[in-house]
Structure 1
Amino acid sequence: MEREHIIMAKQVALYVLLVSVAIAGITTAPPLTIVILVFFGFKIYELVYFRSAKFIAIKNRISAHIQDRNDLNDHIEELKSTHIGADMTRRGHSDYHDNSKWNFKRSGFKKITNAPNVYNCSRSVCDGSRRDPMKYVCKYFGFSADEPTLSKFENMLNNFTAVEDGKNSLTSEKNEILASISDDVPFLIKKFSKKLLAKKLGFKDVDLSDTYYPSFKFQYVSAGGNASTENTIVMDIPNLNAMVNYLNDRIKWKKSVAGQRALMTSALRKHILERDNYTCRQCGISTYAEPHLLLEVDHIIPVSKGGMTTEDNLQTLCWRCNRTKGAKLNV
Structure 2
Amino acid sequence: MEFLLVILAAFVAYQIYVMVYFKSEKFNTLKRSVEAYTANCNDLNHHIQELKNAYVDINSYDYGKSTLQDNSNYNFKRTEWNKNIKNRYVHNCSATVCKNANDQPFKYLCKYFDIKVTEASLSSFEAVLNDFDAAEQGKVLLKQEHDSIVENIKNSIPAMIYRFNKEKLKRKLGFEQIDFSTLYFPVYTFQYVSAGGNSSAKCDITLDIDNLNRFVGYLSTLVKFKKSVAGQRALMTSALREKIKIRDHYACQSCGISAYDTKHLLLEIDHMIPLSKGGETTESNLQTLCWKCNRTKGAKIIA
Deviation of 1:183 (Å): 1.3
The answer to whether the Cα contact below 8 Å between 1:154 and 1:265 also exists between their aligned partners in 2 is: yes
Change (3 A) 1:311 1:328: closer
SS state at 2:251 partner: coil
The answer to whether the Cα contact below 8 Å between 1:153 and 1:240 also exists between their aligned partners in 2 is: yes
Counterpart residue number, 2:42: 70
Compare CA radii of gyration and give the structure with the larger one: 1
Counterpart residue number, 1:186: 158
Structure 1 residue 160 and structure 2 residue 132: aligned? yes
Change (3 A) 1:268 1:327: closer
Deviation of 1:191 (Å): 2.4
Aligned partner of 2:103 among 112, 117, 131: 131
Aligned partner of 1:309 among 256, 281, 295: 281
Counterpart residue number, 1:298: 270
The answer to whether the Cα contact below 8 Å between 1:89 and 1:115 also exists between their aligned partners in 2 is: no
| TM alignment of 1:152-301, pairs within 5 A | 152-254=124-226, 256-257=228-229, 259-301=231-273
Change (3 A) 1:256 1:55: closer
Counterpart residue number, 1:325: 297
Counterpart of 1:182, as a letter, is K
CA–CA separation in structure 1 for the residues paired with 2:17 and 2:227: 72
Counterpart of 1:213, as a letter, is F
Deviation of 1:33 (Å): 4.0
Deviation of 1:187 (Å): 1.4
Structure 2 unmatched ranges of 5 or more:
none
Aligned partner of 1:111 among 74, 83, 86: 83
CA–CA separation in structure 2 for the residues paired with 1:181 and 1:256: 53
CA–CA separation in structure 2 for the residues paired with 1:298 and 1:104: 59
Deviation of 1:285 (Å): 0.8
Structure 1 unmatched ranges of 5 or more:
1-28
Shifted more, 269-278 versus 187-196: the winner is 187-196
SS state at 1:127 partner: helix
Change (3 A) 1:262 1:236: same
Question: Which whole-Å deviations, capped at 9, do the CAs of 1:89-108 have from their partners, x for residues lacking one?
Answer: 74321122345578423221
When normalised by structure 1's length, the TM-score is 0.85
| TM alignment of 1:6-25, pairs within 5 A | none
SS state at 1:278 partner: coil
Counterpart of 1:45, as a letter, is Y
Counterpart of 1:58, as a letter, is L
Aligned partner of 1:140 among 90, 112, 122: 112
CA–CA separation in structure 2 for the residues paired with 1:181 and 1:124: 61
CA–CA separation in structure 1 for the residues paired with 2:33 and 2:133: 32
More helix by share: 1
When normalised by structure 2's length, the TM-score is 0.93
CA–CA separation in structure 2 for the residues paired with 1:111 and 1:46: 48
Structure 1 residue 44 and structure 2 residue 13: aligned? no
The answer to whether the Cα contact below 8 Å between 2:61 and 2:112 also exists between their aligned partners in 1 is: no
Change (3 A) 1:125 1:61: same
Deviation of 1:150 (Å): 1.0
**Residue correspondences, number:** 301
